[in-house]
Chain A
């Protein structure tokens, strides 16, 4: 009975709110997806955070730091959205540390030059936007509202990243080389951010029926590629895909085969930075333990004083 009412609500484009009845599978799917999204925001702070202290101008430093700080804010919203489904942030972080929760594989690639700050903003935030714009219409209310808030900031990030790339592409020969190298390294991992091809994506079925996901991985990927190719042309950089070609009939770009073996390797923990990213997060968390304990002890003392 409730199942039927629930599906009718979804079909009528009504949002599901925390107190509404929902199938257990729907709740589980959301917890997995939102927490994965939250962890991605937080782990995503690391590759860029790694360049804040080396940013080449005061302005660049402030923009980058503010950007990484935004990502922390996104993580906060998303953890809160997840908490409305009955899981605490501590539990979610524990799952991350135990290796039971995933985050976007893109952050398991190293940020090796300043141009990577451009490539990450332009491509990684760019890909995130395509996904998140689509998720603004997701059926779960708190998630949808979170996405609306987050998308505004993501488009700033994308523009700022593109600006760095553009600046470097028209800079000295060394800068242009750095920019092209960053694009070469980040292109394929970026288009793989949308996940496996629809034919290999087992969970797309229910997620589409429940309108958690509104567009398939392949649709989102295509829309990102169509948007990004002309942007690369404008600044004179070459996308590292010899098969990339405009297809008049489809009205889309055709593109080459992605390396799914690499994709699954990184997803399953065997990427260049998987260990490092997780270790960094654990270290910060462990180092902060005495601070959190002290804070709690102090709060308890104050409460006692107030009561007496």
Chain B
């Protein structure tokens, strides 16, 4: 596996897995309008995943975009652990997405300058969508944080629960550093100060407290996941696995 291939499917995997989580909201939203908004976000994410998978398929030539999505095992998925976390209540979904959206917005903004034309184009296209996702999760976080005591408690609890998955967003490994030499990849560790600013100012407006940095999970980029990913994949890949010779 080339570094470029791995780098590309990492991006695709996070988009796909979060898209899949968001799709679980369909017909379960707190209002009809919100149901539609959540589906929109999911559709954007599937579109982004598809774009990056198609490029990865081209780089590697072994598996098509669909095969990459539907026939790899848990240990071969390289998404961040944050995005695979279950939806929980609406507040947990909002917290998870806000933590991620803030990061991925900064990430794509930098990645749009990649020397790899396809990556830079895919990133540029994603920025607009992610900007909307960030506005959505941020506005909801503020509404829920500064809404009722009940809603404030629910999102604060979710923050405490999910904080441990934010550490790995800024981890670098050799694939990143190798590709950085060619100006293809970006230095995610450098996104941290800006991300901190975004998080702190929103949490303040939302009347929420930033959790202490305690245990920080790690491993998504190496294919180490939390227990919930296996169930997600089993459901998502069921048809492709059960009927390997079928075309759909």
B-facing mask of A167-182, CB < 8 A → 1, else 0?
1100110110000000
In the assembly, what is the distance between CA of A157 and CA of B1, in Å?
Answer: 40
A-facing mask of B21-60, CB < 8 A → 1, else 0?
0011011111111111001101100110110010000000
Q: Which residues of A contact B195 (CB under 8 A)?
A: none
Question: Chain B nearest CB: distance from A22 CB in Å?
Answer: 27
- Chain B residues 193 to 238 lying within 8 A of chain A, measured CB to CB, are 235-236, 238
- B166 near A: Cβ within 8 Å? no
In the assembly, what is the distance between CA of A297 and CA of B145, in Å?
Answer: 11
Q: Which residues of A contact B164 (CB under 8 A)?
A: none
Task: Provide the main secondary structure of the chain A interface.
Answer: helix
In the assembly, what is the distance between CA of A297 and CA of B23, in Å?
Answer: 28
Known: A291-B90, A297-B147. A61 touches B46 (CB 8 A): yes
Question: Chain B nearest CB: distance from A28 CB in Å?
Answer: 24
Interface residues on A, range: 35 or more
> Nearest CB to that of A299 among chain B residues?
B143
Question: Chain B nearest CB: distance from A276 CB in Å?
Answer: 12
Q: Which residues of B contact A52 (CB under 8 A)?
A: 23, 26
Question: Chain B nearest CB: distance from A39 CB in Å?
Answer: 12
- Of A70-78, A128-136, A190-198, A236-244, the one touching chain B: A70-78
> Do residues A298 and B146 form an inter-chain contact, with CB atoms below 8 A?
yes
- Chain A residues 136 to 179 lying within 8 A of chain B, measured CB to CB, are 164, 167-168, 171-172, 174-175
> Nearest CB to that of A168 among chain B residues?
B248
Q: Which residues of A contact B235 (CB under 8 A)?
A: 53-54
Question: Chain A nearest CB: distance from B41 CB in Å?
Answer: 11
Known: A53-B24, A167-B248. A291 touches B238 (CB 8 A): no
> Nearest CB to that of B91 among chain A residues?
A291
Point out which of B26, B36, B235, B243 has the most chain A C-beta atoms below 10 A from its C-beta.
Answer: B26
Question: Chain B nearest CB: distance from A119 CB in Å?
Answer: 15
> Do residues B150 and A65 form an inter-chain contact, with CB atoms below 8 A?
no
> Do residues A54 and B27 form an inter-chain contact, with CB atoms below 8 A?
no
In the assembly, what is the distance between CA of A46 and CA of B179, in Å?
Answer: 45
Choice from B20, B53, B151 contacting A53 with Cβ under 8 Å: B20
Q: Which residues of A contact B20 (CB under 8 A)?
A: 53
> Do residues B32 and A76 form an inter-chain contact, with CB atoms below 8 A?
yes
> Do residues B40 and A287 form an inter-chain contact, with CB atoms below 8 A?
no
> Do residues B90 and A72 form an inter-chain contact, with CB atoms below 8 A?
no
In the assembly, what is the distance between CA of A294 and CA of B30, in Å?
Answer: 11
Known: A69-B39, A175-B246. A61 touches B23 (CB 8 A): yes
- A288 near B: Cβ within 8 Å? yes
A-B contact pairs, 23 of them (CB 8 A): A45-B26, A45-B27, A53-B20, A53-B23, A53-B235, A58-B49, A58-B66, A59-B50, A61-B23, A65-B26, A66-B39, A66-B43, A68-B27, A68-B39, A72-B39, A284-B28, A284-B29, A290-B150, A291-B144, A292-B31, A293-B151, A294-B151, A297-B147
Which A residues have a C-beta under 8 Å from some C-beta of B?
42, 45-46, 49, 52-62, 65-66, 68-69, 72-73, 75-76, 79, 114, 164, 167-168, 171-172, 174-175, 280, 283-284, 287-298, 301
The 9 nearest A-B residue pairs measured at CB:
A288-B30, A294-B147, A294-B151, A291-B30, A56-B239, A56-B248, A69-B39, A49-B27, A45-B27
